[in-house]
Amino acid sequence: MVEFIFMLTHSDMTIPNAIQVFEETKATGIRCIGFKDIGLPKEKLMKLVEMMKKKKMKTFLEVVSGSEEENLRSARVAVNLGVDYLIGGTYPKQTLPAVKRSGIKYFPYIGKIVGHPCLLRGTIDEIVDDARKVEKMGVDGINLLAYRYDGDVRKLITSVKKAVRVPLIIAGSIDSYERVREMLNLDVWAFTIGGAVLEKKFVPRGTLSDQIKAVLREIG
């Protein structure tokens, strides 16, 4: 089964009203929910994670900060918050010791990550080589910015999936039913959607809850 991770984020930042949006959408049946390491102070994130855990949801913190120092700080925040998954980030060798023995599953980015919102660059061969490299480091999975790539997205996903045994999260710019169905066809472990839900791209006249329910129906 492919998992849908609803991100309380827009333009690679946690939205200011994340708690309000969570309250509005928590009864949709969504099981996986996340946020970025930029946008809300730790105190509000603590409250948000507590609310998520009360609903027995799987929690995801995605690192979009660029520097090594910021990546490590976000990893420590993830440990303090007690999230289930730390995803994203570009310093896996340095980050792995920070989450060791915490119980957190770690899915870093691969390839060359540039800009903010984050974009994926490099050749498919280079990205695949990076996937193999981080798998050997002992990560739990890979967070692949497939739809932020300026090449053949389907070939990228299938190439990475074939090269490694760890599960894949496909993150960034999944904004249509066609792309959601592609996640099913490619049998990835999970995918994230944030901005497209908040912009109501799935049910234009519907509520935020309607958007989430529509995606959940699409993946069955």
* DSSP structure string for 30-68: --EEEEESSSS-HHHHHHHHHHHHHTT-EEEEEE---SH
- Average pLDDT, rounded, for the chain: 97
Stretch 14-18: mean pLDDT, rounded? 98
Per-residue pLDDT tens digits for 125-159: 999 999 999 999 999 999 999 999 999 999 999 99
**Per-residue confidence (pLDDT) for residue 93, from 0 to 100:** 97
Q: What is the pTM of this model?
A: 0.97
Mean pLDDT of 29-52: 97
Quick one: what percent of the chain has pLDDT higher than 70?
100
Q: What average pLDDT does range 163-191 have in this prediction?
A: 97
Alpha-carbon distance of 131 to 143, in angstroms, equals 10
> Mean pLDDT, to the nearest integer, of 18-39?
98
| DSSP at 192 | E
Report all structural domains of the chain as residue ranges with CATH numbers, in order of start: 3-219 (3.20.20.70)
Query: What is the amino acid identity at position 109?
Result: Y
Number of residues that this document lists for the chain:
220
Closest CA to 148 of 181, 105, 114: 114
Per-residue pLDDT reduced to its tens digit, 54-103: 999 999 999 999 999 999 999 999 999 999 999 999 999 999 999 999 99
pLDDT score recorded for residue 130? 98
In the sheet that holds 168-170, the strands lie side by side as: 105-107, 85-88, 58-63, 32-36, 3-7, 190-193, 168-170, 142-144
